[in-house]
A = this chain, B = another copy of it.
Amino acid sequence: MTTVLVVNSGSSSLKYQLLDDAEQVLASGLVERIGGAGSIRHRGPGGEVTVDADVPDHRAALALMMRTCTEHGPQLAPDVVGHRVVHGGARFSAPVVVDDEVEAAVEELATLAPLHNPPGLLGIRAARATFPGVPQVAVFDTAFHATIPPEASTYAIDAGLAAERGIRRYGFHGTSHEYVSQEAARFLGHAGRFVVLHLGNGASACAVSGGRSVATSMGLTPLEGLVMGTRGGDLDPGALLHLLRTGMSVDEVDTLLNRRSGLAGLTGTGDLRDVLAAAEGGDERAELALDVYAHRIRGYVGAYLAHLGGLDALVFTAGVGENSPEVRARVVEGLGHLGPTLDPARNEARGRGARLVSPDDAAVPVLVVPTDEELQIARHALAVTAG
């Protein structure tokens, strides 16, 4: 039996999942508060355990994972390790086996993704040291979007500067958009023209045609596009100049855009459940935030409909997209003239797998497809090393 360990490494946390080649999850878990007094939550064949432990760094996090597996199962001897890496830049348009040179390239890309690439690199380094001889595969959030045509990936700024500094639309959430669009194609029996809405803490829209990404809402960085938990998405570049000219520093603007924007900026909380509850209670700021959130999404659906030349399915995924009938209703309401409509009972019904939430005769079917980035990373890791 071949097993794959999938590692999703954040700056102070590390998620892992062990899968076999039949795509069964053998174990999964999360190490938190790396850098000090941390803990592991591990789910294996014997159920879930939580253990506190000192976790000075990512290498210690993997050691803790190993120890926990030895004690509570399953036996951990992966044939390949797959890593989530956020930014692959212009260089990585597909998963790749990590060697020193790839590791150096991922490190260099940290200038483009200072918040996101360094933790991925920590995970890669720790895993290379922990599992010497085991192939490590880097799977990039940007790679699925490598097929976006130049007219959609080019920002209209000085071309020389853009080339020199790598400024173009890369897009993110690619592993999710790829997985979800493949599952949607399987569900529908054809890979047509889909708009996939990944609505989690981060959020992005993707136009997928024949299995390929042709447009997406995140750009050079994960700050562009839809309204998110704490990020605001699209913003007049002139607004940044205005803030910088009226006394804010670059660091303050950075904090504003990454942490004091989006739902959190509009309402005080970035958790969509809380925003929904507040709106229910008559809070006007929450109501406005939901309106802005849904309006932005509808604009992207319309834009992508224009680019795709037609729409064969609208697909919701991630925390909000999978779990909130209310947000789906707010989005799809007002899109009826473009084809997508909801069946209220189907939309309200809970479910686990890919499912239809539109009427059977909807002009454009609306689907909910639970995302599974770990599984997609495992598939890629296996495929790359099988060759």
Contacts and interface: CB of A to CB of B under 8 A. Distances in A.
Interface stretch (A68-76, A182-190, A236-244, A321-329): A236-244
B295 A157 contact: no
Interface residues of A, number: 76
A245 B251 CA distance: 9
A356 interface: no
Contact of A239 (B167, B262, B263, B300): B167
A331 to B, nearest CB: 10
Nearest to A238: B221
A298 B303 CA distance: 7
A260 to B, nearest CB: 4
Interface stretch (A33-41, A134-142, A158-166): A158-166
A265 B223 contact: no
Interface string A23-53: 0000000000000000000000000000000
Contacts of A242: 111-112, 165, 167, 220-221
A120 interface: no
Contact of A338 (B223, B262, B305): B305
A254 interface: yes
Interface of A: 111-112, 114, 150-152, 154-159, 161, 165, 167, 169, 218-224, 227, 232-246, 250, 253-254, 256-257, 260-263, 265-267, 285, 288-289, 291-296, 298-307, 309-310, 334-335, 337-338
Nearest to A249: B244
A82 B116 CA distance: 53
A235 B155 contact: yes
Contacts of A159: 265-267, 285
A157 B241 contact: no
A156 B262 contact: yes
